[in-house]
Each structure stands twice: as structure tokens, then as C-alpha cells.
Amino acid sequence: MRVFITGASGFIGSAIVQELLNARYQVVGLARSEESAQSLTKAGANVVRGTLEDLDSLKRGATYADGVIHTAFIHDFSNYAAAAETDKHAIEAIGSVLAGSDRPLIVTGGILGLRTDGNFITENDPAPGFPRASEAAAMSLAEAGVRASVIRLPPSVHDAGDYGFIPYIINTARKKGVSAYVGDGGNRWPAVHRLDAAHLFRLALEKGATGARYNAIGDEGIPVREIAEVIGKYLNVPVVSITPEEAATHFDWMGRFITFDSPATAIITKEQLDWEPTHPGLIDDLHKGHYFGS
């Protein structure tokens, strides 16, 4: 089976590439730079040069693929609406090639903030079409007959080499000299190890149902205060509570996300795809020290 992957050289995409190669799939990755192309070739994958804005390159990659995994996203929080619009057009372009076939399209979505009332987010909770349109675009394609499904990632997909939310919070603590949480810090974030997420993408490719939503959840909900305490310990800085009003200044663009209480489950995902996380949770991963340069 030949699989086309966008974001193939990224933190999550590279793990999916290795997962598929280990399972003897042929992998073709989208590469926007020579460096990305070389890393994919070195891993054993083939390359299509292009970008998310270059819809012809996406269509080229999808045309000769037996399945597509879309992980690429422009994480520009200063112009998020434009990034979401680019993502929507990319998904639609790939879907136009797969229409009328049984070739699967796995789209990556996010889970943070789908609910903020403290109730657990399940696969039955749909994502809104704004600001990020990934899930809505995939569901529209599924309704039109494309074998599209969505894997929803938590705010922390963790492992060595992570450059997402957790490293940002750690770097903020370094700069500010304190490890902060908001209020009592009882709001919860779900998390998943990168290798468990990569395995889930393969299972969804092999067994995923049209229009399905899958939650990639290892830790269902870790109190943000607990994360702050571990960071404080390893950086040897005080752990402090700040107000919601102070969060925007302290964390900048992260100020809103850090307050979300978004615990989530993967009960349906595990049952439907026979998936079970086997790698360390976020707190255990933090205690390994690689997030702190040790």
C-alpha cells in the first residue's frame, strides 16, 4: 500500500512515516524544503516537493496513493484564520482526488477546547468549523462519499524532540523565573505519547470508518498545576498561581489555552480500532529529563 503523508518530516509526521515503513508500507512524504526532502529520503520514504498552499502538489501526491494522512498545519497563531483557511483548501484538494474511490483520508484535528465545562470530551462531541476547519472539512468530504475520518490530537503530543505547547510553557518558566498555573490549576489537559499517536494513525488508515472521529488520548486529564510543579522542580524555580487576567501577559498567545479544562476519553476509539497506548504518560516523560536538556 502506498501512503501519501503531508507534514511527513514534522514531529508527529516523522513518527507516522516510521510506523508505516516498519509495517512495510510504501511512503511518499510532502516536503517543502531540501532539508525535509533529505530527511524523508534518509528514512526510506519517497518525496513529493510542495507546500500546503500548492494545491497541485497535494493532488499529485494523492493521485498515486492508496491512502492519505494529512498532518501538516501552519501553526501561525498570529494569523490563525488564514492558516485554517489554507488547511481547509488543502483538505478539499486532496478529497477531490480521492472522491469516488475507497481510498482513505485521515485528517488531523485538535481536541483542546472542544468542551470547557469540565465534562470529558468524547468522540461524539463534534468540533466547530471555526477557527480550525480541519474536522469540519473532513466531515463534509465524508458526507460527499470520500472515506474521510479524523484523528484528534490533545494539546500535548509528547516525546523527545517535542516543540509544541509543553516546551513553550517550559521556556516561559525559564524566561519569567517562575512556573505558573492559573487559579487553582485544577483544569486538566489530555496528552498522548507521539509513538502511540503514530500507531493510531496506522490503525485508522487500515480500519477507520467513513466520517469517524478518533481521540488520540493516553492521559485523559492532567491538572495543569501538576505539570507546572514538575517544570518548577526541574528548572528550580518557584511554582506560582496567577489570575486569568495575568495569564495573557505571562503566557502571551498561550494565555487562553492554558486555562482550558478539557479532559477527554478514547473509549470509542479503543473499541473500534483495538488501540491501546503503551508508552509513558506525559508526567513520566517529563521526569525522563529530555524536556529540560538532560
What is the rounded average pLDDT for all residues in the chain? 96
Query: Residue by residue, what is the 3-state secondary structure of the chain?
Result: CEEEEECCCCHHHHHHHHHHHHCCCEEEEEECCHHHHHHHHHHCCEEEECCCCCHHHHHHHHHCCCEEEECCCCCCHHHHHHHHHHHHHHHHHHHHHHCCCCCEEEEEEECCCCCCCCCCECCCCCCCCCCCCHHHHHHHHHHCCCEEEEEEECCEEECCCCCCHHHHHHHHHHHHCCEEEECCCCCEEEEEEHHHHHHHHHHHHHHCCCCCEEECCCEEEEEHHHHHHHHHHHHCCCEEEECHHHHHHHHHHHHCHHHCCCCECCHHHHHHHCCCCCCCCHHHHHHCCHHHCC
List the 2-6 sheet strands across, edge first: 46-49, 26-31, 2-6, 67-70, 104-110, 147-153, 213-215
Q: Which pTM does this prediction carry?
A: 0.96
Q: What's the number of CA atoms in the CB half-sphere (13 Å) around residue 65?
A: 33
Q: Report the pLDDT averaged over residues 152-160.
A: 98
- 167-212 pLDDT, tens digit per residue, is 999 999 999 999 999 999 999 999 999 999 999 999 999 999 999 9
With a cut of 80, say whether residue 248 has pLDDT above it. Answer: yes
In this predicted model, which residue has the larger pLDDT, 279 or 82?
279
Which range marks the domain in which residue 61 is found? 2-158+190-220+262-279
Residues 44 and 128 in one domain: yes
The tens digit of pLDDT for each residue in 28-62 reads 999 999 999 999 999 999 999 999 999 999 999 99
Residue 286: inside a domain, yes or no? no
User: Is the pLDDT score of 294 beyond 70?
Assistant: no
Q: Are residues 232 and 180 in the same domain?
A: yes
Residues 146 and 48 reside in one and the same domain: yes
Judge if 113 and 237 occupy the same domain.
Answer: no
| Residue listed under C-alpha cell 488547511 | 87
**Predicted pLDDT at 65:** 98
pLDDT for residue 128:
86
> In this structure, are 75 and 101 located in the same domain?
yes
Is 285 a domain residue?
no
Kindly state whether residues 53 and 169 are assigned to the same domain.
Answer: no
Phi, psi of 47 (to 5 degrees): -130, 140
Task: Please tell me the predicted confidence (pLDDT) of residue 43.
Answer: 96
